[in-house]
Amino acid sequence: MEAYTRHRQRLGAAILAAVLFMPALASADADDQPVEIKMFAPGNGDHAGIAGRGWFVDLAIVYDKPIAGTGFTGEQLTGPGVHNNVPPMPGTFSPGVDDRLPNLIVLADTTTLGAGSCQNLANLFNLTGVTNVDPMETEIWDTWIVGAPNFGVNTASTILVAVAADLNGDGIYNDAPAVVPDADGDGVCTKKDLKAFGLASNIAQAKFFINP
């Protein structure tokens, strides 16, 4: 009986050691992709903005290739009205594909613009620039301040951000859609539809609340 007890103790210790040193399983969205998106704002659980406006989407996007392959066409400082596509750093301002970063896909499930949750909102970003470049990697930061209550007021919202894959095979990430196809036909675009479209990055997500 004593020998059996010692055997059970050794077996338990071996199992515990195996569990402690087992490699962590990757999450579903931690794919080994050539582009990495980090979303600094909004954060999960944030209560953002005032009266549906004045909140930010703030991104850092890291590509594993030199800048020529990222699709980046130039820095921008843009916005609505008199700020739309004017010097010294012009960029168009409207829903759809961003003329400065034509690989970016940004979806918000509470948007009232265009095609709703399938509408790419990337061309509404105001400030785009390059923060790091070397022969093997490029980092671009991209920021949007929401100036109108087009995404709900006093409501929960979810934002999804991804980079489209090189779908045309030209070696450049410039294939984002103006509207993401609703692959499963349920009337709502989600991570499933983004993955079905084809991505070169993780999907950055935030579930937050837009303040009244």
Model pLDDT for residues 120-168, shown as the tens digit of each residue: 999 999 999 999 999 999 999 999 999 999 999 999 999 999 999 999 9
Taking a C-beta distance cutoff of 8 angstroms, is the pair 138, 63 a contact?
yes
Stretch 25-51: mean pLDDT, rounded?
Answer: 82
pLDDT at 82: 87
What was the pLDDT predicted at 85? 84
Distance CA 183, CA 191 (A): 11
In this prediction, residue 99 carries a pLDDT of 97
| Per-residue confidence band for 2, with pLDDT thresholds at 50, 70 and 90 | low
Four-point Cα dihedral 120, 166, 139, 104, nearest 10: 0
Is pLDDT of 36 > 60? Answer: yes
DSSP code per residue over the chain: -HHHHHHHHHHHHHHHHHHHTSPPPPPTT----SEEEEEEESPTT-EESBTTBS-EEEEEEEESS-GGGS-----EE--SGGGTT-TTS----SSSS-SSSTTEEEEETT--STTGGGB--GGG--EEEEEEEETTEEEEEEEEE--S-TT-SSEEEEEEEEEB--TT-SSS-----SB---TT-SS---HHHHHHH-BSB--EEEEEEE--
pLDDT tens-digit series, residues 180-195: 999 999 999 999 999 9
Contact in structure between 59 and 142 (CB atoms under 8 Å): yes
89: closest CA among 99, 79, 76? 76
> Is 3's pLDDT higher than 50?
no
- Mean pLDDT, the chain, integer: 89
Residue, of 23 and 62, whose pLDDT is higher: 62
Instruction: Report the C-alpha gap between 167 and 200 in whole angstroms.
Output: 10
pTM for the structure as a whole: 0.85
Model confidence at 209: pLDDT above 70: yes
For 161-170, the pLDDT digits (tens) are: 999 999 999 9
Of 4-8, 24-28, 200-204, the least confident: 24-28
pLDDT at 29: 52
pLDDT bucket at 32, cuts 50 / 70 / 90: confident
CA angle 185, 201, 150 (to 5 degrees): 55
Asked if 143 and 57 count as a contact pair (C-beta separation under 8 A), the reply is yes
Helix (H) or strand (E) holding 35: strand 35-41
Residue 86 burial (CB count, 10 A): 12
- For tokens 């600094």, the residue is 40
Instruction: Parse the chain into domains and list their residue ranges.
Output: 28-210
pLDDT of residue 31: 60
Whether the pLDDT of residue 66 is over 90: the answer is yes
User: 17 falls in which pLDDT band (50, 70, 90)?
Assistant: very low
